[in-house]
Amino acid sequence: MEVVGLGVGVIGLAGLFTACLDALDRVRAFKSYTFDSEASRVQFDGHKLRLEEWGRNVGLKRGQPGSGDHERLRDPETMKLVEDTLNVIHQIIGDGSNQSSLLRRKAGKLSQASGSITTRQKLAWALGGKGTRANQVALLGNLINQLHSLVPPPPVNATEPANDMLDNSTWITGMRQALADIQAEKRRAVYAWILGDTSSSDSQEQFKDACKKRISGTCDWILDRPAFQKWSSVDEVFPSLLWVHGVPASGKTMLASRMVEHLLQDLPDGSKRAVAHVFFSGEHASWSDPYTIMRLWLSQLAAHPAFYALVSRAHTENESREASRATLVELLRRASQTFSRLFLVIDGLDGCSALAESTTSIARFLMDLRSLLDGSLRVLVVSRDETEIRQVLRYSEPVNHITEYGIIKQDAQADVLAYSHTIVKQKLSRKIPGVTESLARSMSERCDGQFLWLKFHEPSLMHWQNRKQLQKTLDRVPKGLEKIYERTWEALTRNYEFERATIILRRVTFARRPLTLGEISVAAHVDEGFDIEDLPDEISKEYVQSEILDICGPFIQIRQNPNEPVLERCTVHLHHFTVKQFLLTKLSIDILGLDDKLRVSHEQKQHTALLRHCIRYMRACHSSGDLEMDQLIKDYAISIGSSTQSQLLQGPLLEQ
């Protein structure tokens, strides 16, 4: 429903009045808009007649924009209050006239426990479908009474100031604030319905992190490739989908962030084009369902008013707690019809761990996505060249809808060298340029186009080493990610803090969402003999460096949330999806050798084990009276329990 704008003036007041009458006519003509009783219907008709007569008596004529000659309407304050009242009528009745029959079935009665219905309750029902038709009719009557009070029709003396003008103004202000609050509540409900249990912050943080870490000038080469130019052109009809794939750690996420930035920068002001992007991480179990991507796309597109109205209507018509997969697909179909050009970007689809034969598999997701490839929609998929993805995209019909680009080592050669230079300059800042230049070039050649290989070699660079020693150290580093992961792991096993390192890595690997530094500091100490006194006095930079980063090596990284500048709220992440795949072979039984169902079962056991540690910690906090930290971990424990459906949450154990 489109809300009539504020500040319409005398000339536009008749138009607003006409819009209200039109909305009332639609309600009366709408057969599915059932009344609770014959009395409600009669009252509605009476209110409609009173509004028409009021307008006629004060000079507002239906269909005549320039009408409105009542003396009171010449007073700016009075006219503003009338305008606000008509806007509320239009918003409430206009919304009701556009509701579907499903809303009528799901509408329940407002609670009468307080003995009266507040304005907020009435507005909440009118906007969200919660209440009875009689309540809406009563609210309409109150609003029309307010109009009669503001601008009384003859024979009341029109020149005499209203004694209750201040009360009228206060009433309207309260009504407008209540309306704004209810709209905000409804928006939160709509987003909760779209997202379900998905958090939109992880994807956004990963995108921002990639943009922040990307070296200026790198990744620009993809913008010049014909495949990308043709796909992103507004003048081209096909291809609708571009698949960019490459080997692990070849800079695909950085590349995706550059393409998204380009698409966002290319959006003209006032354009009906839109861009939605998801940076998918297989790092956490909460990302196992690829349809999470659709939820995140839709949550971004709902920021556009025209599409939000469509999603809000779908939410009103739907009785489920969260949007189903079929609803998600249909909403994306409607989105492609709403925008003149719609770009949907997904990075890291191969990180999804859904079972291949399940209804939420990657293949099923891609087939649903393919069914949308028509008209304005453009989809960009960035991933590894995985069989499940390739079979759907490369061998699908019609072939002209889909194109692909395989990243080769030569594409990113300059980017790899730039990243290598950055690492060397940071670690060996006191070396002469000739040494750093030569070493950076040697590193870029040895990494075989894998940026993460360079990151894992970074700890081996010692500023006290001379040129020959640095080169000798580099020559001993094995090629390939798997081998350098193995080398790093072997170094951890020789560290006296190895047991603590495995505890931290296990917590990060199997967590259902990114853990904060505060949570990790607890997780590293909780065991059967846990004592609250074992926890650090504070989470400082020195503690994070020596007790987390130094002992876990380059397997993990720390990300700061710009909305949470406190250090203990920074989140801990595995450096890459391939790191998780490697650690799964080290932190448990040979999970990669299991079939998919057994693998999921094992991960659920890890979640339950983590839940037990949360409860153990909460008991210790409860005994010590540290309620603030108790709540932080309790929230996480509940999230684990709800997702694993653990029996530990049945009964009083958690509350104890």
The structure's pTM equals 0.72
Whether 119 and 88 have beta carbons less than 8 Å apart is answered as no
Does residue 425 surpass a pLDDT of 90? yes
Residue 197 DSSP one-character state: T
Does residue 383 surpass a pLDDT of 80? yes
Query: Please, which pLDDT band fits residue 444 given cuts at 50, 70 and 90?
Result: very high
Tell which CATH architecture fits domain 201-399.
Answer: 3-Layer(aba) Sandwich (3.40)
Candidate ranges 135-149, 183-197, 323-337, 606-620; pick with highest mean pLDDT: 323-337
Does residue 512 surpass a pLDDT of 60? yes
From residue 228, how far is each of 41, 222, 386 by CA, in Å? 60, 7, 21
DSSP for 242-286, written as a single string: EEEE-STTSSHHHHHHHHHHHHHHT--TT-SEEEEEEE--TTSGG
First-to-last CA distance in the chain?
Answer: 48
pLDDT tens-digit map of 565-580: 788 888 899 988 889 8
Token pair of 603, please? 């991960």
pLDDT tens-digit map of 226-261: 999 999 998 887 789 999 999 999 999 999 999 999
Q: Could you tell me the residue ranges of all domains in the chain?
A: 9-195, 201-399, 413-477, 490-649
Residue type, 17: F
pLDDT tens-digit map of 446-496: 999 999 999 999 989 998 999 999 999 999 999 999 999 999 999 999 988
pLDDT tens-digit map of 595-627: 454 444 555 666 566 666 665 555 555 555 554
Whether 385 and 396 have beta carbons less than 8 Å apart is answered as no
How high is the mean pLDDT of the chain?
78
- The length of the chain is 656
Task: Give me the residue label for tokens 């209200």.
Answer: 20
Candidate ranges 136-140, 166-170, 428-432, 613-617; pick with highest mean pLDDT: 428-432
From residue 593, how far is each of 282, 486, 564, 584, 585 by CA, in Å? 18, 18, 40, 10, 9
Contacts of 389 (CB under 8 A, 6+ apart): 243, 245, 349, 350, 362, 366, 381, 383
